[in-house]
Amino acid sequence: MALEPAVSKQDTHFVDVFSMVIGLLVAIAVVLFALARIVAGQTQDQEVYTEPQYLAAVEQRIEPFSREAIAGQNNAALAIVETNPTASAGNALPIPKNGRETFEQVCSACHGQGIAGAPKAGDAAAWGPRIAEGKPTLYQHALNGFQSEGHVMPAKGGRPDIPDPVIRQAVDYMVGLVKH
């Protein structure tokens, strides 16, 4: 009986075909990748470089950190403009002028529906014990913030730019909503 060779003909044939298939797949992948780059280079990449928003963002990132006033030139662009500290650039929130406006713009976010443990505006049961503490305490808590039982009333409702008297008016307004 003749001995079978260590590597049969069939095995060699299998390795050959297998390598060829793998090689072909790699070649197809490389071609597809190259094709994708060529197509992107002619469309997508160019659109990116002509996109005004993209260009503006790049301009902003590479802007120099400091600007210098130059004698004899118009330096108006360097004037320091006061912006609202809580608002993001170019989106300054208007400062409310009275209690009602403050309530509607700021306080009602939590107090309108009684969110996050805030006493709901107009809810006598929620406000009764607080009103009993006296207005000065309520003002103090609204201005400087207050917390109990894990609920947080942020100082000025999170709007440090609103003047104190307007915050007091907002407290008066909310307390007023209860009595009616």
Q: What's the token pair of residue 8?
A: 């049969």
Nearer to ligand HEC by Cβ, of 111 and 178: the residue is 111
Nearer to ligand HEC by Cβ, of 17 and 116: the residue is 116
Rounded to whole angstroms, how far apart are CA atoms 20 and 26? 10
Rounded to whole angstroms, how far apart are CA atoms 140 and 155? 9
* Contacting range for ligand HEC; rule: CB under 6 A; set: 54-62, 63-71, 78-86, 149-157: 149-157
Torsion of CA 45, 46, 47, 49, to 10 degrees: 90
* Contacting range for ligand HEC; rule: CB under 6 A; set: 48-56, 75-83, 84-92, 101-109: 101-109
Q: Which of 120, 121, 170, 178 binds ligand HEC (CB under 6 A)?
A: 170
Query: Which residues, 6+ apart, have CB-to-CB distance to 121 below 8 Å?
Result: 103, 107, 108, 111, 112, 114, 174, 177, 178
Q: Which of 84, 100, 104, 158 binds ligand HEC (CB under 6 A)?
A: 158
* 121 belongs to the binding site for ligand HEC (CB under 6 A): no
Nearer to ligand HEC by Cβ, of 9 and 179: the residue is 179
